[in-house]
Amino acid sequence: MTQEPKELFKAQEFARLAGVTVRALHHYDKLGLLKPKQRSRSGYRLYSPRDFGRLEQIVVLKYLGMPLKQIRRLLEPDANLSQALQRQQAVLLEKRRQLDRAVAAIQGAQYSFAGRGEPDWNLLKYIVQEMEMQNNTDWTKKYYSAEAQAKVETRKPLWSPELQERVSREWATLFADVESALGEDPASPKAQELAARWKKLLGEFTGGDPQIQQGLNAMYADQSNWPPATQKAHAIKPEIIDFITKAMRAAR
């Protein structure tokens, strides 16, 4: 009986040596990612030593979060791998920012629990709202001019997890304070103090830039046309907005 050449490996042995599953090899074969060098007379897949290098490339790109179909294109001779890696780097950096915000939210929640038997659910709700707002910004771009959008992007690196944690706590506290002061005269010292705190927190996002502020105002004025899920998660009570608006007008 003719033996297969020693430089070829059957799927099970190749998978064991490469540290993957036979099922993964079959899947890569089906997708055209890693075709076996040949098949035995009995139909077994046979892999060559060079296939280890190809498999290593697949594993590395998969680890970087690239979809298998994209990996297949990237491993073609004329593919621009450098450009694809740059794009993937941007994707991973954004994921890292999202994880940083999640960590900051958890830290903020733990801070609010300190010394209490009951969690501050208003703070937790607002933290979730802030995270979702940061993670789903595409629909908001229509409210900003091109110049304002560019400025918002420039300010993103300044938004650290520590800043997220502090601002989330301060907004949650401010909402509660405004709601408890709805019976006050908007021109009263207390209402003016609340309006000043509101402006200060807005400044954390806008940096005092009037173009960014204009876009933010337009966005919140159009809450009824927000995506349903976002509208439900981010709604600020109309009476709170009305009171702060009157307080700010009284300060002019």
Q: Which residues contact 87 (CB under 8 A, 6 or more apart)?
A: none
Dihedrals phi, psi of 188, to nearest 5 degrees: -70, 160
Kindly state the average pLDDT of the residues 72-92: 80
Q: What is the CATH number of domain 9-74?
A: 1.10.1660.10
Q: What are the tens digits of pLDDT across the range 166-181?
A: 887 888 889 999 999 9
Confidence bin at 186 (pLDDT 50/70/90): very high
Kindly state the average pLDDT of the residues 93-122: 67
Kindly state the average pLDDT of the residues 80-109: 74
pLDDT over 90 percentage in the chain: 21
Q: State yes or no: pLDDT of 67 exceeds 80.
A: yes
| Domain regions of the chain by residue span | 9-74, 81-250
Over its C-alpha atoms, the chain yields an Rg (Å, rounded) of 28
Q: What is the pLDDT of residue 115?
A: 57
Confidence bin at 97 (pLDDT 50/70/90): confident
**Sheet harboring 9-10: ordered strands across?**
9-10, 45-47, 38-39
Highest mean pLDDT among 35-49, 125-139, 191-205: 191-205
Q: What is the pTM of this model?
A: 0.46
